[in-house]
Each structure stands twice: as structure tokens, then as C-alpha cells.
């Protein structure tokens, strides 16, 4: 299962780690509280992983190889 690495990085089931600054993560969490649909933050790496936010939390890593991987816990 995908996991969140404290404070603003995420690891996919395929082993890819997406690193972001703390401010963009906070902004996405705040913005997703006001939306009815999930929103995505896309990684700038070549394989373009995306982090999905819904209701104020990061809920999944969208992998171009595996697909949607639920985030279950912290590392």
C-alpha cells in the first residue's frame, strides 16, 4: 500500500517517492475541503505520479504503471 512520508512526501507501491514542499500540500488539503470531487497534485518527475486529495486529506497515489494506490498510513 502507498504511504505518506512525514511531512510532505509520498511513496507509491512501485517504489517511486514523490517529494513536495509543505506549503503546496497544506494548500491542496485546504482546497480539497471545499470541493465535491477529489483534486490532484502532479509530481514533476518523468513518470508523473499524482497525489489525490479529498475532504482535506491525501487519499491516493495515482501511478502511471499500477493505477490508483490507496494511501494507508505514515512512514
In this prediction, residue 59 carries a pLDDT of 96
In this prediction, residue 70 carries a pLDDT of 96
pLDDT in tens, 7-65: 899 999 999 999 999 999 999 999 999 999 999 999 887 888 999 999 999 999 999 99
pLDDT at 3 over 90: yes
**What backbone torsions phi and psi does residue 41 show, to the nearest 5 degrees?**
-115, 120
> What is the pTM for the complete model shown?
0.91
Query: Phi-psi bin for 17: left (phi > 0), alpha (psi -120 to 50), beta?
Result: beta
In this prediction, residue 63 carries a pLDDT of 95
pLDDT at 74 over 90: no
Amino acid at each position: 500500500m502507498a504511504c505518506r512520508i512525514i511531512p510532505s512526501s509520498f511513496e507509491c507501491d512501485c517504489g517511486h517517492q514523490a517529494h513536495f514542499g509543505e506549503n503546496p500540500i497544506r494548500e491542496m488539503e485546504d482546497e480539497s475541503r471545499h470541493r465535491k470531487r477529489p483534486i490532484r497534485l502532479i509530481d514533476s518527475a518523468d513518470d508523473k505520479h499524482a497525489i489525490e486529495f479529498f475532504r482535506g486529506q491525501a487519499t491516493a497515489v495515482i501511478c502511471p504503471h499500477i493505477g490508483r494506490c490507496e494511501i494507508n498510513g505514515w512512514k
